Amino acid sequence: MDIKVRVWRQASPSAAGKMVTYDVKGISPDASFLEMIDVLNETLILSGDDPIAFDHDCREGICGMCSMVINGVAHGPEKATTTCQLHMRKFSDGDVIDVEPWRAAAFPVIKDLVVDRTAFDKIIQAGGYITAPTGTAPDAHATPVPKKDADAAFEAATCIGCGACVAACPNGSSMLFTAAKIAHLGLMPQGQPERDSRVIDMLQAQDDAGFGGCTNAGECTTVCPKGIPLSLIGRLNSDYRKAVSKR
């Protein structure tokens, strides 16, 4: 396949960025999107240009590091798929493909397509855990967990923390990310003692980190590579109301 990519190039956090067009020729439809960028970077290096900086690691859709807005959509056109799992067979010969970084106030650009997502870690620090210091645990079978709850908790816990939800949200809100963690821990019996403080503290932390407010636009769940449902935000809001009323 022969394609063109228009890529956001920005040398540093403070530098002005711009879209730059590159030709990519003879790429296999079986190559992944990131492998296409690899191939482009090899030619850029040998021709004396600066290769495109982008985040990636596991390349199997689970680490959450890859993060490209492709043709205006976080992680690109394929539903429930991270950038690294997107393959060129989903595009056509002659396509012109736009590639941009996550754009959100809380995720400043570091270079090219690389953004800073430490704001997500701050939300977890505020309460996205169950306090269970090593060595204190009772036997694993001491508290049975209904399968339905365990399965629902697992579904929420599959969030990979990539930040596509924030990139897609018109408000740059991290509500789906936070809601997924609230649901995961709130559905487990072990998560009950901290359930109220967790939701209050995590919501405060996302405000402090510069994320926008949620207006139920629903763009987040549309791009989520793990299909985290919008209903979890409703659950979060319900938890929050209950927690605040108990104060």
Partner 1 sequence: MSANDFWAEGEPVFDKAAPDGPVETRWERRKFSAKLVNPANRRKLTVIVVGTGLAGGSAAATLAEAGYRVKSYCYQDSPRRAHSIAAQGGINAAKNYRNDGDSVYRLFYDTVKGGDFRARESNVYRLAQVSVNIIDQCVAQGVPFAREYGGLLDNRSFGGTQVSRTFYARGQTGQQLLLGAYQALERQIGLGNVEMNARHEMLELIIVDGKARGIVVRDMVTGEITTEFADAVVLASGGYGNVFFLSTNAKGCNVTASWRAHRKGALFANPCYTQIHPTCIPESGSHQSKLTLMSESLRNDGRVWVPKNAADCQKPAGEIAEEDRDYYLERIYPSFGNLVPRDIASRAAKNVCDEGRGVGPGGLGVYLDFADAIKRLGRKAVEAKYGNLFEMYERITGEDPYETPMRIYPAVHYTMGGLWVDYDLQSTIPGLFVVGEANFSDHGANRLGASALMQGLADGYFVLPNTISNYLAAGPFPAVQATDAPVVEARKEVEDRIAKFLSIDGDRTVDSFHRELGQIMWEYCGMERTEEGLTKAIGLIRALKEEFWTRVKVPGKGEELNQNLEKAGRVADFIELGELMCIDALHRRESCGGHFRAESQTPDGEALRHDDEFSYAAAWEYFGADGKPVLHKEDLNFEYVHPSTRSYK
Determine the Cα–Cα distance for residues 84 and 59; give it in Å rounded to an integer: 5
Among 3, 65, 182, 199, binds partner 1 (CB under 8 A): 65
Q: Which stretch binds partner 1 (CB under 8 A): 34-42, 69-77, 168-176, 213-221?
A: 34-42
Q: Which stretch binds partner 1 (CB under 8 A): 146-154, 170-178, 206-214, 229-237?
A: 146-154
Nearer residue to partner 1 within complex by CB, 65 or 214: 65
For residues 175-204, which are near partner 1 according to CB under 8 A? 184-185, 187-188, 190-191
Q: Which stretch binds partner 1 (CB under 8 A): 98-106, 120-128, 171-179, 211-219?
A: 120-128
Nearer residue to partner 1 within complex by CB, 202 or 220: 202
Angle at 165 between CA 105 and CA 102, to 5 degrees: 45
Nearer residue to partner 1 within complex by CB, 216 or 231: 231
Among 76, 101, 161, 212, binds partner 1 (CB under 8 A): 161
* H-state helical runs in 32-141: 33-46, 118-127
Note whether 127 and 205 are within 8 A (CB): yes
Kindly report the number of other CB atoms within 10 A of residue 233's CB atom: 23
Determine the Cα–Cα distance for residues 93 and 100; give it in Å rounded to an integer: 21
In the complex, the smallest distance separating the C-beta of residue 151 from partner 1, rounded to whole angstroms, is: 8
Determine the Cα–Cα distance for residues 119 and 9; give it in Å rounded to an integer: 23
